[in-house]
Amino acid sequence: MYKHLLAISLSLVQVFSDTQLIPNSCVDLEDGEQFIKMLDGDDYPVTKVKCSNGYAMLDYSLDTDIASYFTSFLKWHHKIAGASQTDHVNLQEWFVPNDGNTKYIVSDACDVCEESAQQYGTSNGYYMNANLFGCFTYPRGMPDCDFDIDTYECHACYSTVDFGTIYQTEFGADDATDMGACMTFVREASAEVDRTFDECTYQTETGFKPTIGTEGQFCICVQPSTSQYYSIDSSVLTTKEATLSTAAESAAAVTAEDDRKQTLGWEFQTKYLYATDFALGTYRITEPGTYVLMEDIEFDWNAGDINGDPNAYGSWWPNENDEQYPGWGETRETYFMGFLLVLLLNVIMSLLI
C-alpha cells in the first residue's frame, strides 16, 4: 500500500514539475524583460515584453508573437504596423485582451512606460490617418504637411481653402488648419473611428486606424485591471527562449553584414542575365555590380488567352500567396497593379550592359 502511495506522490511531483504558472501582466513584476501570457488558450502564445512601472510594453522587435493579441496585424510602412484595411477598430477594440478597464499608455522610444508623460491619462494610443489606408482627408499629396519619413514625426500645417498657400506649423498653433499624412498621431484608446470603408472615403474627423511600431519605436504599454496566472507546459517556455535566441542571432548577423558593407564597401560583382532569370517575373537588382544581358528577353507573365479571354481574372498578375511578388488580390504591396517592370533597381551603383 505504501509503495502505491509513494508512486502516486512521485507521479504528482512529475506532473507539477512539467508545468508552471505564468502571469498575464507585469503587475508586481520587476522592471525588465519578462515572459507573460496575456490570455489563456493555445491561440495566445507566451510573449516576451518589457515590464516598466507595472505595465507590459509591447515591443514587436523584441517578440513578433505580440501580433497574436490583435484582431488583425498588417505592416503599413517600414517600421509601422496596424489594423488591416477592413478592420475598423480603435485601440481598445484592436487589442484582444482588453477587459474594459485596461490602461494604455505610449512610449515613443520604447524605453519606459510613464503615466505622467501622457496626453490622455491612461487611455492613449497611436493612430494613422485616412490618407494612409486608402481613404481621404485634407490635405493630400502635400509633402510640407506629411510626417517625417525617417523619424515619423507628424506635422501640422496651414493651408488656404484653395491650397494656394501651404506651410508647416505647430500643433495647437493659432494658424494650424490641417494635419498631413501621419502614422503615429496620439489619440485616446477609446476614440471613435470610421466604421465602414465608404464612411472613411469622405472627409471626416474619425478617419483613423490604430498602429504600433515594429522596430523599437512607438510601443504601446498595457495594464489589465485584473491580474491572473495561467498554467503552461515548461517546455513551452524553453522552446520560446530558444526561438527568440535564434532570431536574435540571425538579426545580429544581418546587422553585422550591413555594418561590414558600410565600412569596407560593397563587393561589386558581374552578373550575367539570361531569359531564365526573368521566367517568374520582374528581376530585382538588390546588390551593386555590373549586370550583363546575354540574350533577348521576352516577357509575358501569367498571360491571358489572346484568342479567348485575354483579361481573365489574374492575367498578367503575380500568383496568389507569391512571397517574391506580393500584391495578388490586394490594393497594396509592390505588385498589386501587376507586373509593370522587367527590371527593378533597388540599389545604386549598378551598371546594366
Structural contact between residues 282 and 270, judged by C-beta atoms closer than 8 angstroms = no
Q: Based on the domain organization, do 286 and 164 belong to the same domain?
A: no
pLDDT at 10: 36
Residue 5 has pLDDT above 50, yes or no: no
- What residues are paired with 20 via a beta bridge? 232
pTM beyond 0.85, yes or no? no
C-alpha cell at 288: 551593386
Q: How far apart are CA 9 and CA 17, in angstroms?
A: 12
pLDDT digit string (tens) for 217-273? 999 999 999 999 999 998 998 999 998 888 888 877 777 776 666 665 666 788 899
**In angstroms, what is the C-alpha Rg of the chain?**
26
Average pLDDT over residues 295-320: 80
pLDDT at 183: 95
Phi, psi for residue 59 in degrees, rounded to 5: -120, 105
pLDDT at 285: 85
Residue 349 has pLDDT above 60, yes or no: no
Q: Based on the domain organization, do 129 and 29 belong to the same domain?
A: yes
Structural contact between residues 85 and 133, judged by C-beta atoms closer than 8 angstroms = yes
Domain contains 250? no
C-alpha cell at 343: 527590371
Work out the burial of residue 2: count CB atoms within 10 Å of its CB; fewer than 13 is exposed, 13-18 middle, 19 or more buried: exposed
Structural contact between residues 262 and 326, judged by C-beta atoms closer than 8 angstroms = no
Which among 95, 112, 108, 118 has a CA at the least distance from the CA of 190?
A: 95
Q: Based on the domain organization, do 230 and 127 belong to the same domain?
A: yes
193, 218, 235 - which closes a domain: 235
Q: Based on the domain organization, do 209 and 310 belong to the same domain?
A: no
Cα distances from 349 to residues 57, 126, 288, 301, in angstroms, run 41, 38, 5, 28
pLDDT digit string (tens) for 74-92? 999 989 999 998 999 999 9
Q: Based on the domain organization, do 67 and 207 belong to the same domain?
A: yes
235, 250, 276 - which closes a domain: 235
Q: How far apart are CA 275 and CA 283, in angstroms?
A: 10
Q: Based on the domain organization, do 80 and 194 belong to the same domain?
A: yes
What is the number of alpha carbons within 13 Å of residue 26 lying toward its C-beta? 23
Domain contains 3? no
Q: Based on the domain organization, do 310 and 330 belong to the same domain?
A: yes
Domain contains 87? yes
CA 266 to chain centre: 29
Mean pLDDT of the chain: 85
Q: Based on the domain organization, do 150 and 99 belong to the same domain?
A: no
Domain contains 46? yes
Q: How far apart are CA 321 and CA 330, in angstroms?
A: 11
Q: Is the dihedral of CA 177, 181, 184, 189 positive or negative?
A: positive
Q: Are strands 55-58 and 229-233 parallel, antiparallel or unpaired?
A: unpaired
Tell me how many domains the chain contains: 3
Cα distances from 52 to residues 103, 214, 218, 221, 222, in angstroms, run 13, 19, 15, 8, 10
Q: Strands of 350-352's sheet, edge to edge? A: 269-273, 289-293, 350-352
pLDDT digit string (tens) for 106-154? 999 999 999 999 999 999 999 999 888 888 766 666 777 888 889 999 9
Structural contact between residues 182 and 170, judged by C-beta atoms closer than 8 angstroms = no
Percent of the chain with pLDDT over 90: 45
Domain contains 194? yes
Domain enclosing residue 162, as ranges: 138-179
Q: Based on the domain organization, do 108 and 186 belong to the same domain?
A: yes
Domain contains 249? no
Q: Based on the domain organization, do 175 and 209 belong to the same domain?
A: no
- What residues are paired with 11 via a beta bridge? none
- DSSP-assigned letter for residue 82: E
Domain contains 251? no
Q: How far apart are the first and last CA of the chain?
A: 88
Domain contains 6? no
Q: Based on the domain organization, do 145 and 74 belong to the same domain?
A: no
Cell 523584441 sits at which residue? 62
Q: Based on the domain organization, do 60 and 152 belong to the same domain?
A: no
Who wins on pLDDT, 289 or 101?
A: 101
